[in-house]
Structure 1
């Protein structure tokens, strides 16, 4: 005897049973269907369960879940979950071999980068200097790039490597340092800020980032200087130079460095080191900017065109009219 009830087609559940197919309609509640399904499953012996799994063909449709579930990461709509994210969430490369992916990406893009940045600690604080040239291979794209980035009033970061990577991660670090200050009612230390940046970059190691930065600042312990790279490496030191012009800058910096220098002497050493690097390195040039970080914060001391600095360090005596005429006659 057939039932006169017409089953609704709005919620069918099809379960593939071994040797048969049964359709269960919505006049059963979902809880009843689930209970019946598990009762049937656990009534089978282990071998029958295995055969059942082999014959069962079910597809899980997750479309629409992404709009209803809160996302944990950068840009999350849930304020409560924002604190769980330490770094922004990006799509990962479609590969499991990140080291191989990075090598292949470098070969495909073949970036040619160049810059000169330096920083050193002396008795009055930290001196930071950099050039301002941006290049794309052999093409000079800009002569006025700001390579010393203000993280907060007491901390600076330098930029070497990919311009976009350095600018983004310094901006992100500045946000997190400010949040730390608001939450703890005190400024973050230079060591803490550099460690925070190293942890963020370590999360994206092997994914093609190009960052070589120095974090310089003044905190409760005094001056601090750290070098951080795109693999999450972190070094503490009293003087660093980063970039393609760093070998030339190190030659001047190491020969003239003294801890007990005055601000004027340290500024001149930093400016002269940047100039000599730009004179020998074709990827460095533009303006030599010099900053000082002390107990009252950072200040910009100078920004000189390296072309003018050449005549400052190597003055050329103007030739008289008689000398010009004599040289012309000799030719």
Structure 2
């Protein structure tokens, strides 16, 4: 495995095992372009005799106190809960974590490659690769596998930036990003409750509720919730929490609302 930079500025050759592709720079247009690339035969997707569905719920958002990243812990394979306690949030370094959604083996592979390349860059240049550059590096690595299902989406989150990198090399940046089969339900909670001025505890509570709502409706997500808070000092992992605790809290909130409504009705009737 090597990372070779050509000094004359013609381009950069990145080699991962038997995967080679060129990143060329067109001076008069000022953008990077990749040459045609065909993955080796063993990397092509093999059609399964039956569909094997899997899903997840991961999210990240920005608020005044930094970034919150959250994910459930269920690994599913069709109708089977393969593992109830996987780690879908992986720290890359002190100010960068990634949340993974899709094929677990592929996501683990690309996370390890990303950790290695960022560390090699730091050793060579005596400075850490920026978050945006890390996302671009991951995007370049994934692009040759577009349409092969070799890897599924990864979402780097750190500092004031939340960036989504898809398996086809697409790279998107936003203030709220949720990925996985439970993401439509998580977006519903985040869009209704997120604001820049949230406190740290309010942001954590919102992320936990978003994952809980998603797991309540999405059969492929569930079990526990992992939460990371990233600020200028680095990331802090919250203790893993069983989602049934959030369920009991929701029951208590509903009971409290009913009591308050009954009390108001009693006062109005009197």
With the length of structure 2 as denominator, give the TM-score of the two structures: 0.78
Aligned residues: 226
User: In the superposition, relative to structure 1, how do residues 251 and 106 fare at CA in structure 2: closer, same or farther (>3 Å)?
Assistant: farther
Indicate yes or no: 2:80 matched with 1:139.
yes
Counterpart residue number, 2:41 = 93
CA displacement 1:158-204 (0-9 Å, x = unmatched)? 01000000011011101111111111211111100000000000122
Of 148, 153, 159, 2:89 maps to 148
The structure that has the greater radius of gyration is: 1
Map 1:318-329 onto structure 2 (within 5 A): none
> How many angstroms does 1:109 deviate by?
5.5
Alignment of structure 1 residues 77-92 onto 2, 5 Å:
84-89=13-18, 92=40
2:249 equivalent in structure 1: 312
Measured in 1, the distance between the counterparts of 2:239 and 2:202 equals: 13
The DSSP-based 3-state class of the residue aligned with 2:16 is coil
**Which of 287-296 and 202-211 deviates more?**
202-211
Q: CA deviation at 1:123?
A: 1.3
* Higher relative contact order (CA closer than 8 Å, sequence separation 6+): 2
In structure 2, which of residues 169, 174, 177 is the aligned counterpart of residue 237 of structure 1? 174
Higher strand proportion (structure 1 or 2) = 2
Residue matched to 1:296: 233
Contact in 1 for aligned 2:142/2:151 (Cα 8 Å): no
Gaps of 5+ in 2: 3-11, 20-38, 256-270
Give 1:24-35 correspondences, 5 Å limit: none
- 3-state SS of the aligned residue for 1:284? coil
SS in 2 for 1:292: strand
Q: CA separation in 2, counterparts of 1:88 and 1:270?
A: 39
**TM-score, length-normalised on structure 1?**
0.64
Return the match for 1:124 from 37, 49, 65.
Answer: 65
Question: Which ranges in structure 1 are unaligned for 5 or more consecutive residues?
Answer: 1-72, 75-82, 318-331
Q: Which secondary structure state, in structure 1, belongs to the residue aligned with residue 240 of structure 2?
A: strand
Post-superposition offset of 1:303? 1.7
Report the CA distance between 1:248 and its aligned residue.
0.7
SS in 2 for 1:128: strand
Q: Could you say what secondary structure the match of 2:52 adopts?
A: coil
CA distance in structure 2 between the partners assigned to 1:217 and 1:121 by the alignment: 9
Q: Give the Cα separation in 1 of the matches to 2:88 and 2:222.
A: 12
Instruction: Measure, in 2, the Cα distance between the counterparts of 1:162 and 1:226.
Output: 19
1:55 match: none
RMSD: 2.0
